[in-house]
A and B are shown apart, each in its own frame.
Chain A
Amino acid sequence: MSDGAAAAHDVLLVGGGAAGLRAAIAIAETNPSLSVAVVSKVYPMRSHTVSAEGGAAGAFAEGDTLDEHAYDTVSGSDWLCDQDAVEAFVQEAPRELLQLEHWGCPWSREPDGRIAVRAFGGMKNMRTWFAADKTGFHMLHSLFQTSLKYTDITRYDEWFVTRLLVVDGRVHGVVAIDLMSGRIEAITAKSVVLCTGGCGKVFPFTTNAAINTGDGMALAYRAGAPLKDMEFVQYHPTGLPFTGILITEAARAEGGWLLNKDGYRYLQDYDLGKPEPTPVLRSMELGPRDRLSQAFEYEVAKGRTIESPYGPVVNLDLRHLGEKLIETKLPMVRELCLSYERIDPVKELIPVRPVVHYMMGGVHTDINGAAPIDGLFAAGETACVTINGANRLGSNSLSECLVFGARAGKAAAEYAAGASRPPAVVTSQADDEVRRLEQMRSTDRGHERIADIREEMQSTMEDSAGIFRSGDSLAKGVDQLAELQQRLDRIQLYDQNSAFNTELVAALELANILDIAETILHSAAQREESRGAHQRTDFTTRDDARFLNHALAYRDSDGSVRIERLPVTITRWPPGERVYGR
């Protein structure tokens, strides 16, 4: 912990989830002479990695190949991923998962003691490593507990970063609030890695935790780095109504069926294959998430879904799997259904609907996690390398946190080892930020309420940029967000206390997420085609001639969003048709 004057480190990791902790350990192992610190707004074991359920992909089992993992990922992404990144990813994923095994992760096993793998959506082979259905939880705690071994990793637990210190195009650290005391301090560093996760809280109905407010994306964006492919928002097909709690894809991988109101496996009507009694890879319930969520919307339009107090739902049927399999492979699914729906999936159908789950977009980085600001890096959901393109395959993201967390950590360490100390001018920049925050806390600004603006932003996003979008819906949303930005300046904070002021944090988070919401709508408006998770009702087909490229969203000095385009890297797999179930 810091004690008064500006603390100084070589490498600063913002965020303590899987990507941040993996990066921290990578640095501690490869450059032990460097001073490394993890600053996070929550204790690391509270990070949202903890909620991941189904598993982590890595081609390891006999008969599987790196090329097949790469092809599944590329076709799953609707060819918008960068194939050099995918090749590096599939190559390094198995080794990273093995490393976690050596660090104690309780991976589920075959009877002979070898690692067990399970099927997952859009994957041609079984390659998803799992720890029952609490994979993220076990990965996070294994990483966190292992990180405790490295006593040189400094932690700033429950510190909220409000700004990146950037001078002449180079990052020199952050300003952060120590939530416990309310002190606002600069923490300088030669390189900074953003690992703050996603921003599901842009939408009203999400599997994401309260903390997923896109802080790292907003920090980078305001510092001048572009956000890439923000229009691609993943809806997971199976969330519980009301809470949005995720029912893992593993439930379908183990043999669960999706049924409409007539008890009919409706996915067969959407070019996803024929219904078989047991799971078939890359088919039906094991199709990719974008296609399954879109199929739900078509069922709604046909009047074949079930009405619930929280909107239309379909049913997930696990009853035929039996209690024993559910208890060993899907214990958390049962636990969640019992707690939150008072339903036992051994005997009853689970009501589900699509729910915002993951951002394919994020801070634009290269294959080593470097963002286009010197000394700035990003990894995990915060970043967009991109292996996910227009649609991420389930179980690729946990592995992504490990592979690119380690890569970004090493690259940031290398950068820091050769970098000079921060210039004196960062102090005045930090002072400006301290003044701004103190003013926010004390000034009489107006009478807007945080919760009102947040709710209006979320419903705007759902109405304008849901599973299906159009030029009209997006244009309307852009206008509404612009108005909300004005109102944001008139938020009144009622909590004048320093200690654990969650109102101040909520206001800062809202400002972050509102900026990100704007990049999503602008990126979506300019992509006049349908690809992966981005489906336009006014441009219904993929248009490789115009849009086989990334969108880079920059923040102009007046706060407006400017979109530039960047070619996709294609190495071995030319654009083709996405084929599932045939």
Chain B
Amino acid sequence: MADSIKMQVTRYTPGPDSVPTVAEYDVPLRKDWAILDGLNYVKDHVDSSLSYRWSCRMGICGSCGMNVEGEPKLTCATFLTDYAPGPVRVEPLSNFPIVRDLVVDIEDFMEKLPRVKPWIIRDDDVTVIDGEYLQTPEELAEYKQFSNCINCMLCYAACPIYGLEPDFIGPAAIALAERYDLDSRDRGQRERLDVLIEKEGVWGCTFVGECTKVCPKHVDPAGAIQRYKLKAAKENVMAVLLPRTTR
């Protein structure tokens, strides 16, 4: 194994005429090193102005998503040796505005997330005094995988629809809507469907399925979107047949 690998890293500083450029750095190629360790090596020893987000270094905080050789990845869980002998290209996630170097602007997602009402909705006044809601392991299993979304934005970077149609509410938000819909404690399906039935809701998706492929936590946003399309289609049929109050 060679003892170093070349990283080709996007650099960008906002300004009137600025465009992203690529800088090359040689970093040690070590068995245990993730792409993120390579970036940290650059920041600590070569160029301290390189900017990127990272935190937990164990694939759970969702901060360090970047495109590695064109694919959205968590850079703390993607290893340099898998790209040997190199070079390995590291770019900001696609489909988001670049703020600086490898940092992208995810405010669009932060604004969309609350629109799907990702919280428990109930119409009764049960309180904690009444104890826990019973939920069997089977009921928990119904929604569990959708609750594993870490908001890392890899699915938005992979989604060709989001790239073309920025109004599309997007895979992670829809997966989280489905997570609550499937939760036996929740009564908010109606309210979420009202949001997702709109044109920027599930209809934008042409079922490419890239979102599910790139998810580092094995969440299936494509499956959630498909389920919503069925619910929405059923809803549209009912809308023709019945007045709203009886639905």
Contacts and interface: CB of A to CB of B under 8 A. Distances in A.
B110 A211 contact: no
A336 B126 contact: no
Interface string B123-134: 000111001111
Nearest to B120: A104
Given A48-B55, A157-B110, A499-B13, A112 B136 contact: yes
Interface string B28-64: 0000100000000001110111111111111111110
B133 A102 contact: yes
Q: Is the interface of B mostly helix, strand, loop or mixed?
A: loop
Contacts of A43: 106, 110, 151
Q: How large is the interface on B (under 10, 10 to 19, 20 to 34, 35 or more residues)?
A: 35 or more
A103 B119 contact: yes
Interface in A128-169: 134, 137-138, 141, 145-146, 148-149, 151, 157
Nearest to A492: B48
A497 B13 contact: yes
B105 interface: yes
Interface centre among B58, B117, B176 (most CB of A within 10 A): B58
Given A104-B180, A180-B99, A245-B58, A111 B120 contact: no
A242 interface: yes
Given A336-B59, A339-B59, 15 more contacts: A45-B61, A45-B150, A95-B128, A113-B139, A115-B132, A137-B150, A146-B119, A148-B113, A149-B114, A242-B32, A451-B43, A451-B45, A494-B49, A502-B50, A506-B48
A182 B151 CA distance: 24
A495 B50 CA distance: 8
Interface stretch (B140-148, B156-164, B197-205, B232-240): B140-148
Interface string B77-121: 100000000000000000000011101011000100110011110
Nearest to B137: A109
Contact of A497 (B47, B49, B117): B49
Contacts of A101: 128, 132-133
A106 B143 contact: yes
A209 B128 contact: no
Given A43-B110, A104-B120, A145-B176, A336 B61 contact: no
Contacts of A367: none
B183 interface: yes
A46 B62 contact: yes
A264 interface: no
B31 to A, nearest CB: 9
A323 interface: no
A211 B139 contact: no
B125 to A, nearest CB: 11
Nearest to A94: B128
B135 interface: yes
Given A146-B119, A450-B48, A45 B62 contact: yes
A106 B136 contact: no
B49 A495 contact: yes
